[in-house]
Structure 1
Amino acid sequence: MENNEKTLWQIVKGYFNALPDKEEEAKTIEQISSGVTFHGANLWVLVFAIFIASLGLNVNSTAVIIGAMLISPLMGPIVGMGLGIGISDLALLKRSIKNYLVATGISVLTATLYFLITPLTEAQSELLARTSPTLYDVLIALCGGAAGILALSTRGSGNVIPGVAIATALMPPLCTAGYGLAMGEPSFFFGAFYLFFINTVFITLATFVGVRMLRFKQKQFIDAARLTTVKRYIIGIVVITMLPAAYMTVQIIRQSVLENNTTRFVRNELSFKGTQIISQKFDMKHKTLNIVAVGKIISKEEITKAEKMLESYNLEDYKLHIIQGSQSDSLLLANQQHSYIVGNAQASQQKLIEQAAQLGEVEQQLNAYQQYATLTKEVRTELKAVCPSAKSISISRVTEAKTDTAASQEYVMAVVNCPRALSSPDRQRLQEWLKARTKSDSLRVIVTSF
């Protein structure tokens, strides 16, 4: 039985053994060492990559950000640090740290300069995504660093490096840090820089572990005590870096679970015919779940029954507070119809509910109008890539009423101003892009030349 288990382990080990694919150590070390230093063309590539990434964040273009990550040389000194620790080469480690600090400083300064002079200062979703690092970013950096050192050290794995550059995302956090400095937003700067530091530390750690597992020969180091001290510092940095990310991840998971449980509770226990739940919010301080309902009043018996079910959704620590009837009407109309409510205090509850419903319809129409106004501003920066000759664009929702019938039709209409007529393929491409961008099943494009 023992021999069978051993044989099975040898078979599995043989499949996952990367040592036979290992390149010559000297060649790998030379390749990594050559990518550590930033000067001349390498430095210019870094500056241009930062500008490209900043532009991508500015116009919220994922494709542009990915392009910047692919051409960025920032991985060089980070992998160099991991290799230096792994083979006990303190000279390589010092050179990598020095060039890493230089590259980081130049990157942040370049991004800051860009965001100081750009007219577009709004923080887009791609930029905001780089301000709140979590434990998942630690895992991504570890896996990316491990894949990177394996690709550099073995034959036939060259296509892995671009993927590692995209997955670990070193450029966007530095650009976001520059945005924080330019806009005077400390939370943006520290959040993004922490994400960049997480990537640095754990790519370095993964490289170190990979070098040791691939059995790179260590340099003879006379001062063993100094090497031990360096390794202790590294372990301390890894632990200190991971703790805040772990805490933030736990908080995010807890909040997500809480919101999911609340949604299920409301859907299953507070769904009554004629009643609409329009808001559900937590009061963490007072441990209260506030529900705003309009329409048919939820009875005390139904509320008591729902309260007993809180434990089934892991919400036993929260008290249920349902705002309904005149309370909910007052809450909904406080901003828009305050003067009307004061002047008509004797109005019936049913009248207020009807007005709340009308107000909801008006809000929906207003949100739809604002949605297409915002969308128009967003797509104008992307339009040039699809239709270079376009001068302007306007997007809105249109209701078309027939003169010979009572039926009407709603659709999204886009008016594009071009100085010259578009060919059929160009018009078709523009139509398909706008349809996908507006997420509309029914869209009409009108091309004008005035």
Structure 2
Amino acid sequence: MTVGLSFLGLLLAGLPISLALAAVALIYIAVSGNLVLLQSYPQQMFGGLENYGMLALPLFILLGEFMNAGGIGRRLMALALAALPQLRGGLAYVNLGANMMMASILGSTVAQITIMARLAVPEMEKAGYPRDVSAAITAAGGLLAPIIPPSMLFIIYGVIAQVPIGEMFVAGILPGVLIFLGFCGLIGWMAQRRDFPRTPRMTRAERLRAVVEALPAALIPLSIIVSILGGFATPTESAVVASLLAILIGLFVYREMTVADIWPALVSAGRGAAVVLFLIASAQVFAWVITFANVPAAVAAWLSGLTDSPVLFLLLLNLLLLGVGMVMDPIPAIILIVPVFLPVATGVYGLDPIHFGIVLCLNLTLGLVTPPVGTGLFTASLLTRVRAERLAALLVPFLAVAFLVILLIIVWPEITLALARWL
């Protein structure tokens, strides 16, 4: 109760989300009287960032800066538009499709939103789309990262639950495609209601010119795909290679970038990365406090005594997970929840651990773009300069579509299990 009321009060007072998360942990330590925890406080905050994979975040922010400065992002978006027929809201579909491609490469929502916010949102705004809507579509596309393989969440769940990670990857394909198609349908509805710009009519010569001009720019995503999927580099290392390519192409091929542009890009990327990384560190220490207060175990004991129906159990669990996802990042949430709920799901209700894992990961994914923690939401807000409250309101229809897919998976488990069994 102390944690919740303190957090709500700090937010209402206008304190930034990252500072509020860090302050609540200190308030809980003071109220509990266990001052020994103060010794672990800086270690827990640093532990949220002590991850080699986290280094990819500032590097992908830097890549986005270089791609914009060198005119690379504009040419890649022009290439995608050249592949589309004349269509209302075409650039929005391009944004979502690019998000799905990046999801299959990165597996990280924050990194995906980071690079797409720098790449797609400025181009959509130039084409006449409202910035807030462009940012919302980009943030919604970030929901695909933890679902489309390779998924960091599936890897962590597979390790904790002792289930084959390959089967988790396969089981996530159909849910990811369903969410993508649902988002496409929603964009079609938004395009008519908000009168999105149409894809410009292009002659064959214009389409060919767009393809030729984009060939050097296409080397950048190609280098990321080949280096990661070929096992030559980690996502962090691939971001370094891609950033160097972006500099060379911007300087010597397109010549829209000068040596003087490199330093401002480094400064801008450093500022953006500092804000996002501090938010992640604050979320880690907040999750530590909730775990120490033993809140999840108490809720699990209460929930398992409510019903004998597996479907109703999953529905009730989803309501709980929505609340957990709002105050905790998915990775610490999985580490915390799986040992508590998996024995109940498999032992008491006879649920398949693969099916349970997909439902769990999908639901916690929604927390990435929901306040008050929502690192994906606040990353998109910071990088696009759209207020988080406005962004959260625009994301409600996308969250509704994703939750509908979760309900379909709960009712028809074969959506997750059929493909894995067939393969």
TM-score normalised to the size of structure 1?
0.23
Q: Which has the larger radius of gyration?
A: 1
TM-score normalised to the size of structure 2?
0.24
Q: Which one has a larger percent strand, Structure 1 or Structure 2? A: 1
